[in-house]
């Protein structure tokens, strides 16, 4: 297998990010299998035609099912809205196509489990788009933990803070509708934190959460697309049916304590996606707004020079860094997607499942749902009982 031929469904924010990754991968990672950008699919003919040209796809279509019948498509990349992930995934798997699906896998745990069953039954490869795992600074944290350099882990705290909903006149876009988006800050932002926790710390055993919707009604947008929307002066109002902020406490299987916060009302924070881990031998702190950096502390440093180090993960010793630029030259958000696709391509080369895959997606959904249940029932929920 020399290339993996891609059919992609979706062409908005994530469609652009994925296209960029496919397009740039061969330049920076010439020695792995390369993706081929065969067909892009979307509902609006004119828009998808334009996206095809802009992003560099060979063909475009509005009929996603047609992709499944083509022999020259190996993998279906699904980044359409979450409410259609399940139908497409199951059909793709049954057609023998490999599947790369954006997070969240789908709106409910039940649906995500059916998706996992489908891909496993079909024996295809499956991947879920938790791209933050692929920041080199996050991978450094993983390495330090795996090598025991942080010792026993006592604590994980994570917070994903945005502020795009602080303006009460921001319109009621689809991301604020439970039937389309599934949840609000919880699934969108908290989902990333949960996956990072699984990646770095491991399974959780129980959780309890709280949430709120601070502004309950917002003007209806006259037009909406992706993350932006316009709103007319005297727009009617519609109900916000998702959470604006969700917090929860967790216990990990290894005994560590966890705290999680996701909010779209943290004024001043555009995209503060952070975590801190405290272990018996050391600690690390990450902030996505400075995604090339990891703060690292070692308890056995000489006693007069102990302190958090600001490590710039751009040295040859850091994951993927040699494929980019000389030390000190930072990379951007979109490169996490390139690294993600490298993992996907390597999985093809080595004929194994990529990581994270649908099992990770389901695990994330389990925690999301356990938190929601804990809020509804006002009590601790065990993950194993979900």
Residues 266-305 that bind its own copies (CB under 8 A): 266-272, 278-283, 288-292, 296-299, 301, 303-305
Kindly indicate which of the ranges 78-86, 94-102, 125-133, 309-317 contains the residues binding its own copies, using the contact rule CB under 8 A.
Answer: 309-317
Residues 67-126 that bind its own copies (CB under 8 A): none
Interaction between residue 46 and its own copies (CB under 8 A): no
The CA radius of gyration of the chain, in Å to the nearest whole number, is 21
**Least gap, CB of 304 to its own copies (angstroms):** 4
Return d(Cα 145, Cα 199) in angstroms, integer.
11
Residues 20-39 that bind its own copies (CB under 8 A): 20, 23-24, 26-27, 30
**Least gap, CB of 201 to its own copies (angstroms):** 14
**Which residue number, 223 or 306, has a Cβ lying nearer to its own copies?**
306
Say if residue 76 is exposed, middle or buried (CB neighbours under 10 Å; 0-12, 13-18, 19+): buried
Residues 342-381 that bind its own copies (CB under 8 A): 378-380
Binding residue (CB under 8 A) for its own copies from 38, 97, 335, 363 = 335
Binding residue (CB under 8 A) for its own copies from 43, 47, 84, 154 = 154
Return d(Cα 248, Cα 213) in angstroms, integer.
15
* Beta strands 217-219; 204-212: pairing state: unpaired
**Least gap, CB of 183 to its own copies (angstroms):** 16
Interface with its own copies: number of residues (CB under 8 A): 95
**Least gap, CB of 378 to its own copies (angstroms):** 5
SS3 state of residue 340: helix
Going by C-alpha positions, the residue among 13, 10, 2 that lies closest to residue 227 is: 13
Residues 192-231 that bind its own copies (CB under 8 A): 208-210, 212, 214, 227
**Which residue number, 101 or 331, has a Cβ lying nearer to its own copies?**
331
Task: Look up tokens 């891909």; give the residue.
Answer: 119
Q: Which long-range contacts (CB under 8 A, 24 or more apart) does 232-235 make?
A: 235/171
- Whether 39 and 10 have beta carbons less than 8 Å apart is answered as no
Tokens encoding 53: 């040209």
Tokens encoding 281: 């031998």
Kindly indicate which of the ranges 4-12, 86-94, 110-118, 324-332 contains the residues binding its own copies, using the contact rule CB under 8 A.
Answer: 324-332
Q: Give the DSSP letter of residue 12.
A: S
């Amino acid at each position: 297998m020399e290339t993996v031929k891609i059919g992609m469904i979706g062409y908005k924010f994530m469609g652009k990010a994925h296209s960029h990754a496919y397009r740039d991968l061969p330049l920076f990672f010439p020695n792995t299998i390369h993706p081929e950008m065969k067909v892009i699919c979307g509902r609006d003919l004119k828009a998808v035609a334009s996206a095809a040209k802009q992003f560099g796809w060979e063909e475009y279509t509005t009929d996603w099912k047609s992709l499944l019948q083509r022999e020259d498509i190996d993998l279906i990349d699904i980044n359409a809205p979450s409410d259609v992930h399940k139908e497409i995934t199951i059909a793709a798997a049954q057609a023998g196509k490999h599947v790369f699906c954006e997070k969240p896998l789908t709106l409910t745990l039940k649906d995500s489990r059916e998706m996992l069953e489908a891909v496993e039954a079909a024996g295809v490869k499956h991947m879920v788009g938790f791209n933050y795992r692929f920041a080199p600074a996050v991978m450094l944290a993983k390495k330090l933990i795996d090598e025991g350099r942080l010792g026993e882990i006592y604590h994980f705290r994570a917070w994903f803070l945005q502020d795009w909903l602080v303006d009460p006149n921001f319109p009621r876009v689809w991301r604020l509708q439970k039937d389309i988006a599934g949840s609000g800050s919880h699934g969108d932002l908290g989902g990333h934190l949960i996956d990072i926790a699984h990646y770095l710390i491991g399974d959780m055993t129980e959780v309890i959460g709280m949430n709120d919707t601070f502004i309950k009604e917002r003007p209806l947008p006259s037009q909406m697309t992706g993350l932006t929307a316009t709103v007319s002066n005297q727009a009617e109002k519609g109900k916000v049916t998702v959470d604006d902020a969700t917090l929860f406490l967790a216990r990990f299987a290894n005994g560590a304590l966890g705290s999680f916060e996701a909010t779209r009302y943290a004024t001043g924070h555009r995209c503060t996606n952070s975590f801190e881990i405290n272990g018996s031998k050391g600690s690390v702190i990450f902030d996505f707004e400075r995604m090339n950096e990891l703060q690292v502390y070692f308890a056995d440093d000489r006693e007069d020079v102990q302190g958090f180090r600001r490590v710039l993960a751009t040295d040859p010793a850091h994951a993927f860094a040699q494929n980019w630029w000389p030390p000190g030259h930072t990379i951007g958000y979109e490169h996490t997607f390139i690294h993600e696709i490298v993992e996907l391509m390597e999985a093809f080369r080595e004929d194994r499942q990529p990581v994270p895959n649908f099992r990770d997606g389901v695990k994330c959904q389990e925690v999301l749902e356990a938190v929601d249940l804990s809020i509804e029932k006002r009590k601790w929920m065990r993950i194993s009982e979900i």
